Amino acid sequence: MFHFGYQRTIQELDRFAKHGDELQRTIDLLGGIMNQLPNALANQAKLELDNLRSKSLSFTVQLLDPDHVSRSMVFVTFVSTWIVRFADPEKKHPNPLVK
């Protein structure tokens, strides 16, 4: 489940990036037309792009935070050891290792 949560976060980050790229392309294509659109509409598009960039940066910071990564690895190691100990007939893993 931990993997799926982490993987889902990475997928969301990728989705933000793709949506942001599409929105930026749309804004670029409209270029001069944006000046003729109502101010509220142009501002809304730019605000959504800024919002996507903010979300993307916050996800990236969290995913790459050394403390978060370290704690995540400790958690995965703990759970893996617990699962192996559960399967160990003698219930003594990791000392001695399961044969």
**pLDDT value, residue 63:** 83
pLDDT reported for residue 39: 67
Neighbour tally for 23: CB within 10 Å: 17
Q: In this predicted structure, what is the pLDDT of residue 37?
A: 65
Q: What are the Cα distances from residue 71, in Å, to 16, 29, 68, 80, 84?
A: 26, 44, 5, 14, 20
What is the model's pLDDT at position 2? 67
CB burial of 28-53 (b: ≥16 within 10 Å; e: otherwise) equals eeeeeebeeeeeeebeebeeebeebe
Residue-by-residue pLDDT tens, the chain, 99 positions? 666 777 888 888 888 889 888 888 877 777 666 666 666 666 777 888 889 889 888 888 888 889 988 888 898 889 889 999 988 888 888 888 777
Q: What is the pLDDT of residue 36?
A: 67
User: What pTM value is reported for the model?
Assistant: 0.58
11: left (phi over 0), alpha (psi -120 to 50) or beta: alpha
Query: Is residue 27 within 8 Å of 50, Cβ to Cβ?
Result: no
